A and B are shown apart, each in its own frame.
Chain A
Amino acid sequence: MKIHNFEQFEEQITKNQDIFKEEVKDNKKVILICGDSGCVANNSLKLKEKFDLLINQKNLQDRFLVKLTGCFGFCSKGPFVKIMPDNVTYHKVKEQDIFEIFESHLLNNVIVERLLYNKTKDISLIDFYNKQKKIALDGCGVIDPHKIEECFAIKGYTALKRCLSSLTSLQVIEEVSESGLRGRGGGGFPTGKKWLTAYNQQNEKKYVICNADEGDPGAFMDRAILEGNPHSVIEGMIIAGYAIGASKGYVYIRAEYPSAVKKLEKALEDAYEYGLLGQNIMGTNFSFDIEIRLGAGAFVCGEETALIASIEGKRGMPNAKPPYPAIKGLWGKPTIINNVETFANLPFILKEGGVERFKSVGTEKSKGTKVFALAGKVNNIGLVEVPMGTTLRELIYDIGGGIANDKEFKAIQTGGPSGGCLTKEDLDTPIDFDSLLAKGSMMGSGGIIVMDEDNCMIDVAKFYLKFICEESCGKCTPCRIGTTRMLELLEKISDGKGEESDLEELDKLAHYIKKASLCGLGQSAPNPVLSTLDKFKEEYLEHIKEHKCRAKVCKSLIKYHIIPEKCHKCGVCARFCPVYAISGTVGKEPFEIDPEKCIKCGLCMSNCAFKSIEKTTGGENND
């Protein structure tokens, strides 16, 4: 099985090119089920078990094959079951639906209409997928990540073969530069430029690191890529190694992603078995090894120098740059660090004609696509890949299907704890590195959180700042102490004790921290506060002057109130109240909340079947 030369590699590609057609030959059917962590959490493994059971019971193993794939993308409507070659996809499938799909569709070719999304058989036709373009996510939701042969079927490793057989290292770097690829981890640094610096270093040892320490809370792009098509990342890393002259690569991945680690381990094993990793790849002089290193839950380790410190077995604290890792990195050797998604773009770019195809997508200064984890208060939550230049409006309304529960859109947060919030006015901003930065936010790694009228922007700023305070490594005083002082000020405001001068103080501190911190985490730590201060100053002032939280989130500024006319006098609220703050007589008098005793936990409201309990704030109904 081991590939010793380019001809043998081509043989593998030819041999496997019809693998998907073979599977469905002679009336056979394949059942694809999403096996990504998101759908697994929603019971998708049970669905596979159930199909297998039915198939085995009827001895139909030669007619039906059940496979687990990576993420289909449309997570909020999962788990998905796709039947090939019919190209029919069922959504929100539950265990009890399997029997019906089996009897009706598989045995009698009758489609189960009720499980179709919007009555559409071919799910790729719906709005959610319409404006997307898959480059980094190529193969996700299509192939079984456990089978390298399926990766060959979608031309996996052909870019590597092209590099090794017909390009010099420098030519590879030139093509990457020419494609305009910029780092997908958030910084947007030109990948080719980084590689060239490392290439120019004279050193017998160099390293390639894949940053899979996806620490941005609310983001799961990298995990989905690694679970959906780990080979694209491995191929990208080998190419990077060839380009800069490294023979060893490391994937630094979060320990919190056990399933991604497992799939990556299997993919590495397969790549070794085929000789795509190890000594003399495809019979050339080039050798490359990849090893997995686990992170242990420190956001700061997404920063290059901190990541290196962590692999070296130290506390993950950043160091001053320069020297840049491309000159002096892991164990003092030239090292390039790229994000998972950056690597996943390379097989596309380095195929024959790939540079031109890649350049044709995107904007002038941001080429290609970007993968986002679209989450929060939109109808369609999921993993999306859009051409750069797509507007935020298209992302939220066309792809995301608008705001859930008919609420009003309030803000969109990009860039995670280092980014900022954008408002209605910014919705027509095209998504690219520079436009988002100009609007006071940033691209970041791809987490996008949509917020509605029920989110308080002071609370949001507090959320991110708390995160930063906990994740600050403590090396620099401005970041360690400054962010804590900022958090205290925000807490004062959300407690209704704020003064207008606090806003100036916040602004001042934010600028000190940005200027005086060593690493990217500290320098961007105040961004969520600055951007909300800029775009939602009114809300800050309401908290301070009117003691009002319009989203009714800040506990000190709200009161729970039972509307007497609506109260059914059932007493359920009183039973749930943990502090016995609610009194009344069942069936006789409306119930009442004692504001002195109330701890504002909200249990009464969430348990009232008649929606008779409301929250009030500021001057409203403040009796």
Chain B
Amino acid sequence: MISSKSKEEIYNIIEKRKNMETPLMMILSDIQNKFGYIDLEVQQIVAEALNIPVSEIYGVVTFYSYFSLKPKGKYVISTCFGTACYVKGTQGIIDEFCNKLKIKPGETTEDGLFSIDILRCVGACSLAPVVTVNGKIYPHVKIADVDKIIKEYKDKEVLMNENS
């Protein structure tokens, strides 16, 4: 169930955008950015507020790759799969992340810590292959770096748990 605080935030987003003509995409983008996903319950709230059938909103949410139905992991590992990164060997890096985390692209680890996403293009082609984790960019990644990147965040978690 969605908390009343989140509900309020969603209403605020809708209120801010609702005077635009056909504001659906902008509202969904804001919600995605704020919460990281747009599940059915949220879609129903938007549907009611905009007076659009929820089926239509579901259609839109599932059409665009930027929108997600499910929450993602705490650390989202995004591997760029633009052509520049591809010709420099991104596939091997994706395979290695999947191998190490035992999930497929688009999935989240059971502990909720990591998700692997495939990005179309970050636009930083001179740094290919590029991996980003929650926005932090790792340039010129090699297969051998994959372990180090995962470890960096696992260590961070351990440290945080010790401190708390």
Contact = CB atoms under 8 A, between A and B. Distances in A.
Given A256-B119, A413-B83, A606-B142, A381 B126 contact: yes
Contacts of B128: 375, 381
Contacts of B26: 293-294
Interface stretch (B2-10, B62-70, B150-158): B62-70
Contacts of B122: 37, 41, 256
B22 interface: yes
Contacts of A382: 126
Contacts of A582: none
A401 interface: no
A298 B67 CA distance: 11
A194 to B, nearest CB: 23
B99 A601 contact: yes
Nearest to A331: B21
A223 B87 contact: no
Contacts of B84: 217-218, 375-376, 381, 449
Interface in A451-480: 451, 455, 460, 463-464, 473
Contacts of B63: 298, 315-316, 473
A603 B144 contact: yes
Nearest to B25: A313
A578 B121 contact: no
A296 B124 CA distance: 19
Contacts of B34: none
Interface in A13-43: 37-38, 41-42
Nearest to A450: B87
Interface in B27-46: 28-29, 32
Contacts of A315: 59-60, 63
Contacts of B81: 217
A296 B121 contact: no
Interface in A347-390: 373, 375-377, 381-382
Nearest to A250: B21
A2 to B, nearest CB: 24
Interface residues of A, number: 57
B23 A313 contact: yes
Contacts of B20: 291
Contacts of A464: 83
B123 A37 contact: yes
Nearest to A75: B126
Interface in A244-296: 255-257, 291, 293-296
A377 B143 CA distance: 18
A211 interface: no
A380 to B, nearest CB: 9
B127 A377 contact: no
A215 B126 contact: no
Contacts of A255: 29, 66
A36 to B, nearest CB: 9
Given A313-B24, A603-B144, A219 B121 contact: yes
A37 B135 CA distance: 12
A297 B23 contact: no
Given A331-B21, A377-B87, A41 B127 contact: yes
Nearest to A301: B64
8 contacts: A41-B130, A218-B85, A255-B29, A256-B123, A293-B26, A449-B87, A455-B87, A607-B144
10 shortest A-B CB distances, which residue pairs?
Answer: A313-B24, A218-B83, A75-B126, A296-B64, A217-B82, A220-B123, A375-B84, A296-B66, A297-B66, A375-B125
Interface of A: 37-38, 41-42, 75-76, 78, 214-220, 223, 255-257, 291, 293-299, 310-316, 331, 373, 375-377, 381-382, 413, 416, 447, 449, 451, 455, 460, 463-464, 473, 576, 578, 601-603, 606-607
Given A41-B139, A313-B60, A376-B87, 18 more contacts: A38-B124, A38-B126, A41-B127, A215-B120, A219-B121, A223-B123, A294-B26, A298-B64, A313-B24, A313-B25, A315-B60, A375-B128, A381-B84, A382-B126, A449-B84, A455-B87, A601-B92, A606-B144
